[in-house]
Amino acid sequence: MKDELLEDIVGAFRSYTRRQVIELLLENPRGLRFNEIARALSIYPSTLEKHLAKLARCRIISHHDNRYLSTVNSILIWEKFKNLQKIDSSSFLSSHILPIENYGLRDRFGSLNFEVILDLISIINQIKNDFDDTQNFIQAGGNLDYQIGKTVYGSGMLNHKNTRVEIILTRRLINQIQNREEENLFLSGFGEKTTWLYEIEKCDLGLGVGKSSGFLFLPKLDFEVDYNQCLYSKDPEALEWLRELFGHLKAQSQIFNP
């Protein structure tokens, strides 16, 4: 029964007109009469009748007291449909992995608004523009890239000596910095009394989030983190999700004293 209903729902969304009806009813939570829907969408009554019957049969909308209404089902199904529309033409999402074990974080990812930055120079410029010295709190962590960090902070592009900063470093990155004797250079853009460092044994992604924007670096299909492309967002819900992801990594880390 569930499989048949699912197939009916998928079939219902193939029609642009039915999608218009759902969206219209979601915009009018108190419902609309038949003639109000027909007038708003300029649809012949005989055609509209068939579409409404299909949507009601699939339990996407309901009919009560001469009104057609959206329901909780309508909202849930519409959100899933909008997430499918986010499948990007750049192939980024089909060539990268989301290595997060926390089911709650994984489940919410699909509802977030991210865009893709497709080259390293654009990533560095965006970090430089967004993470300026007006930031009051920055969190960065996971499998961060040595070269990006050295370019942005070691070159003096950014100065966060007066900004509260939390950084989670992998054991691998710590070894890279220490082996090259560049701890002072790598951390030169941060204040000694305003920066908290943490060490995590292993992490398969990298992230950075500030007051109004955030970056997410994901691994490709070979599980190597891709630093030449990333997901980027200014959406408040996405930023809150990134902060929660940072907290999830922090819970697996320990304080690091260089």
Q: Which of 108, 111, 147 is nearest to 127 (CA)?
A: 147
Rounded to the nearest 10 degrees, the angle between the axes of helix 45-57 and helix 16-27 is 80
- pLDDT at position 21 is 93
With a pLDDT cut of 90, the percent of the chain lying above it is 39
| Range from 90-104, 178-192, 199-213 carrying the lowest mean pLDDT | 178-192
**Measured between alpha carbons, how far is 214 from 188 in angstroms, rounded to an integer?**
22
Could you give the domains of the chain?
A: 2-85 (1.10.10.10), 103-255 (3.30.870.10)
> What local confidence, expressed as pLDDT, does residue 1 receive?
45
- pLDDT tens-digit readout, 34-76: 999 999 999 999 999 999 999 998 888 999 999 999 988 888 8
pLDDT in the model for residue 146: 63
User: Does pLDDT of 244 surpass 90?
Assistant: yes
The pLDDT-based confidence of 31 (bands split at 50, 70, 90) is very high
Average pLDDT over every residue of 94-109: 89
Tell me the per-residue pLDDT of 131-177, one tens digit each, with 9 for 90 and over: 876 778 889 888 877 666 656 555 555 666 778 889 898 888 777 77
Average pLDDT over residues 196-203: 90
Res 188: pLDDT: 66
- Written in H, E and C, the secondary structure of the chain is CHHHHHHHHHHHCCCHHHHHHHHHHHHCCCCECHHHHHHHHCCCHHHHHHHHHHHHHCCCEEEECCEEEECHHHHHHHHHHHHHHCCCCCCCCCCECCCCCCHHHHHHHCCCCCEEECCHHHHHHHHHHHCCCCCCEEEEEECCCHHHHHHHHHCCCCCECCCEEEEEEEHHHHHHHHHCCCHHHHCCCECCCCEEEEEECCCCCEEEECCCCEEEECEECCCCECCCCEEEECCHHHHHHHHHHHHHHHCCCEECCC
| pLDDT at position 250 over 90 | yes
On the question of pLDDT at 243 being above 90, the answer is yes
Residues with Cβ within 8 Å of 28's Cβ and at least 6 positions away in sequence, in order, are 70
The tokens describing 123, both together, are: 């990533």
Task: Round the average pLDDT of the chain to a whole number and report it.
Answer: 84
Query: Higher model confidence: residue 113 or residue 239?
Result: 239
Portion of the chain with pLDDT greater than 70, in percent: 83
Q: Is the pLDDT of residue 3 over 80?
A: no
pTM of the full structure? 0.67
Return all residues near 187 (Cβ < 8 A) that are at least 6 apart. 153, 195, 258
